[in-house]
Amino acid sequence: MSAPAVQRFLDAVAGLGLHPEIREFDESTHTAAEAAAAIGCEVAAIVKSLVFEADGAPLLVLASGPNRVDTGALGSRLGASIGKADAATVKQATGYSIGGVPPLGHPTPLRTILDETLLDLPVVWAAAGSPTAVFAIEPAELVRLSGAEVLPVA
Task: Delineate the domains of the chain, giving CATH numbers in brackets.
Answer: 4-151 (3.90.960.10)
As a whole-number percent, the residues of the chain with pLDDT over 90 amount to 90
| Residue 137 predicted with pLDDT over 60 | yes
Higher pLDDT, 110 or 34: 110
Strand partners, 61: 50, 113
Query: Measuring CA to CA, which residue among 80, 91, 77 is closest to residue 149?
Result: 77
Return the minimum-mean-pLDDT range out of 29-43, 61-75, 93-107, 136-150: 29-43
Contacts of 125 (CB under 8 A, 6+ apart): 35, 36, 39, 41, 45, 46, 47, 134, 135, 136, 137
Distance linking the first and last C-alpha atoms of the chain: 34
Judge contact between 142 and 124, C-beta under 8 A. Answer: yes
Contacts of 14 (CB under 8 A, 6+ apart): none
Q: How many CA atoms lie within 13 A of 10 on its CB side?
A: 16
**The pLDDT of residue 1:** 45
Q: Which tens digit of pLDDT belongs to each residue from 67-80?
A: 999 999 999 999 99
Eight-class DSSP state of 132: T
Distance CA 99, CA 128 (A): 10
Q: What is the pTM of this model?
A: 0.95
